[in-house]
Structure 1
């Protein structure tokens, strides 16, 4: 049995198989709706069912207020139609030659950027060009069928390896392997991945100044976008706020300082939340999302690109809306782990 989904704003339609989510079906039909985690742990894919019957999941119950749910608000990554439905959602336009693929990749380089951050470079098959938008992510498909998602940290350059920034989560099936806590990952190892995924990428059609907000390895997709900005000589003002608990968490701060020295429209603001005496930290402190509002109390004329832990993304989304940021100008990539998944 299949059901028809109609997108109210464009009147585009697509079929959903019984038991399939609205987001998965849309992607299957090359219709991209806003999304990030695909696990019901963030609200990037939040939309509304305006007519029809549907089954929502635990993420909808946990992350969306009762009043909004009563009006049909839900997370499309977990919502399954039980009849034909009409939805309110924004469609995302991406390059027509970007296709989601499954492919083998070879580990070509590994470098520790911090005690708990590994930069891993992967060579994609030379016979199959891997195209993506800077800011998107890939998922490793592990032997047991489970998946681990990581953002691409470089803009696409044909023939060049792709780069990921992987933080060690002690006890984590995949990251213990990367960091050698169990069996050690080695150069030339073959992995399998799927991608590119996500709707996080630079909206080049806008001329608004931009705020880049990162926590931890949330810097990775913003690094890829910055490489694109530089390559295309985009002159829009950019302020990068990068937050960590300790200064060592900002593992590529020197690169950001080099950008700041070379690019007249770029400003780097590192923010540390838990500096210790031995750090000798004299810069900004506190919550990174709050530092933005200290500098820019009115965000009505900006775009924000936010990447990092779900709590950072959720806090920023709420606070920036109150500061005048239009909802459609907040682009987010929420870095979820197994601990963040809805129970």
Structure 2
């Protein structure tokens, strides 16, 4: 059954980083879509209907009245959004679809591996689990170049305070030696994953971000850790 395309007003445009912006797209009156946390929407500008881009929702299914997407300056659409999108502008939105869904089961541990803007759907994962006070463990392993590239750092730290089952771990890959960062450095490794996921049988791995990171994670999980593909969910772009 085809989904209705809806024109939505940009209610807020928030700069997360100099090259990253979150758009809040306000639902029109009497619009109440059925969707799930972790899905993506496809958007296009009214004046360029043939150029469409899909973005993971950075909001969750319990955030009513709006969708949020968080976009890096990349390509025609990303550049226009980051540099020019402003409250009052409108975008056409194809409603959410996708199967990159959190498994909210009490005994499960969701290990969410991200690079760059690939962390955006995991904001939704953590939000819903926190809103619902779920006991499902969620751990984000987030790879960035430097501390200046961390998206949602403050919100994730606040969610850690509210939710004892949520952890946000960052590793930096290109910091100068003299940088005062006291956290982890280097790429995501099998050893780091094993130190986090101590009950492999009940762990579900998610990987989202650039193709190289997602494919590298797939190799780590399936080859080095020897886990079945059923325990791994992937979402990649570019």
TM-score (norm 1): 0.63
Within the candidate set 302, 307, 324, 2:226 is matched to: 324
1:274–1:189 distance in 2 versus 1, CA, 3 Å: same
Per-residue displacement from partner, 1:223-253 (whole Å, max 9, x unpaired)?
1111111122211222211111111211222
Between the aligned partners of 1:289 and 1:191, the Cα distance in structure 2 is 40
Q: Secondary structure at the match of 1:101?
A: coil
Q: Secondary structure at the match of 1:128?
A: coil
Partner of 1:202: 102
Partner of 1:117: 20
- Cα displacement (A) at 1:200: 0.7
Partner of 1:145: 50
Partner of 1:168: 73
Aligned: 1:309 with 2:183: no
Between the aligned partners of 1:305 and 1:158, the Cα distance in structure 2 is 22
- Cα displacement (A) at 1:301: 3.3
1:214–1:108 distance in 2 versus 1, CA, 3 Å: same
1:262–1:224 distance in 2 versus 1, CA, 3 Å: same
Higher relative contact order (CA 8 A, sep 6+): 2
- Cα displacement (A) at 1:176: 2.2
Per-residue displacement from partner, 1:162-219 (whole Å, max 9, x unpaired)?
11111012xx211222233xxx222111111212121111123573222111111111
- Cα displacement (A) at 1:114: 0.6
Which is worse superposed, 255-264 or 319-328? 255-264
Q: Secondary structure at the match of 1:288?
A: coil
Which is worse superposed, 218-227 or 204-213? 204-213
Between the aligned partners of 1:162 and 1:230, the Cα distance in structure 2 is 18
1:125–1:209 distance in 2 versus 1, CA, 3 Å: same
Q: Secondary structure at the match of 2:202?
A: coil
Q: Which runs of 5+ in 2 are unaligned?
A: none
1:276–1:100 distance in 2 versus 1, CA, 3 Å: farther
How many pairs does the alignment contain?
234
Larger Cα-atom Rg = 1
Between the aligned partners of 1:157 and 1:239, the Cα distance in structure 2 is 20
Partner of 2:85: 185
- Cα displacement (A) at 1:277: 4.7
Moved over 6 A (4+): none
Partner of 2:138: 238
Per-residue displacement from partner, 1:51-90 (whole Å, max 9, x unpaired)?
xxxxxxxxxxxxxxxxxxxxxxxxxxxxxxxxxxxxxxxx
Q: Which runs of 5+ in 1 are unaligned?
A: 1-27, 29-98, 338-343
Q: Secondary structure at the match of 2:119?
A: helix
TM-score (norm 2): 0.88
Between the aligned partners of 1:101 and 1:276, the Cα distance in structure 2 is 49
RMSD: 2.2
Between the aligned partners of 2:125 and 2:64, the Cα distance in structure 1 is 19
Q: Secondary structure at the match of 1:179?
A: helix
Between the aligned partners of 2:24 and 2:58, the Cα distance in structure 1 is 10
